[in-house]
Amino acid sequence: MEPSFVKLTTATNPYQRSVIEEILQSAGIPYARYDGPAPTVYIASASPLAFEEFRVPPERLQEAKDTLCAHGIVCEASEPLLSRAIEEIIRPLLSAAPERAEPEAGAPEGADHPGMKRLQRFVRVNNRETVRALFDAVLAEGGGRDLLEALFFQLAREGSASLNLLARSLRNGMNAAFVDRFQSEATLGAKKTRLALLGVLAEIPKNRTLVLTLAAGLRDRDGEIREAASEALFALNLRDFGYDPSDPPGERESAVQRLLAETERA
Q: Buried b / exposed e across 23-53, counting CB within 10 Å, b at 16+?
A: bbbebebbbbbbeeeebebbeeeeeeeebee
Q: For residue 220, tell me if it sits in a domain.
A: yes
Mean pLDDT over 107-129 rounds to 75
Q: How confident is the model at residue 229 (pLDDT cuts 50, 70, 90)?
A: very high
Question: Residue 62 belongs to a domain with what CATH number?
Answer: 3.30.70
Q: Is the same domain home to 85 and 27?
A: no
For the ranges 32-36, 71-75, 247-251, the maximum mean pLDDT occurs at 247-251
Whether the pLDDT of residue 176 is over 80: the answer is yes
Q: What is the pLDDT of residues 195-220, one digit of tens each?
A: 999 999 998 888 888 899 999 999 99
The dihedral built from the CA positions of residue 163, 165, 168 and 169, taken in this order, carries a sign that is negative
pTM for the whole structure? 0.70
Q: For residue 56, tell me if it sits in a domain.
A: yes
Q: Is the same domain home to 164 and 187?
A: no
SS3 98: helix
Question: Which of residues 80 and 22 earns the better pLDDT score?
Answer: 22
> Which of the residue ranges 46-55, 96-105, 168-177 would you say has the lowest mean pLDDT?
96-105
Rounded to the nearest integer, the mean pLDDT of the chain is 83
Count up the domains in the chain and report the number.
Answer: 3
Q: Is the same domain home to 197 and 113?
A: no
How far is it between the farthest Cα atoms of the chain?
65
Q: Is the same domain home to 48 and 93?
A: no
**Beta bridge pairs of residue 7:** 55
CA 35 to each of CA 47, 114, 162, 230: distance values in angstroms, whole numbers, following the listed order: 13, 35, 20, 29
Which of 28, 47, 70 marks a domain boundary?
70
Q: Is the same domain home to 104 and 183?
A: no
Its domain, for residue 181, covers 174-266
Mean pLDDT over 43-65 rounds to 69
Which of 133, 154, 173 marks a domain boundary?
173
Give me the pLDDT at residue 1, please.
45
Q: What is the pLDDT of residues 5-53, one digit of tens each?
A: 888 887 767 777 888 899 999 999 999 887 744 444 444 444 333 447 8
Q: Percent of the chain scored above 90 by pLDDT? A: 44
Give me the pLDDT at residue 77, please.
62
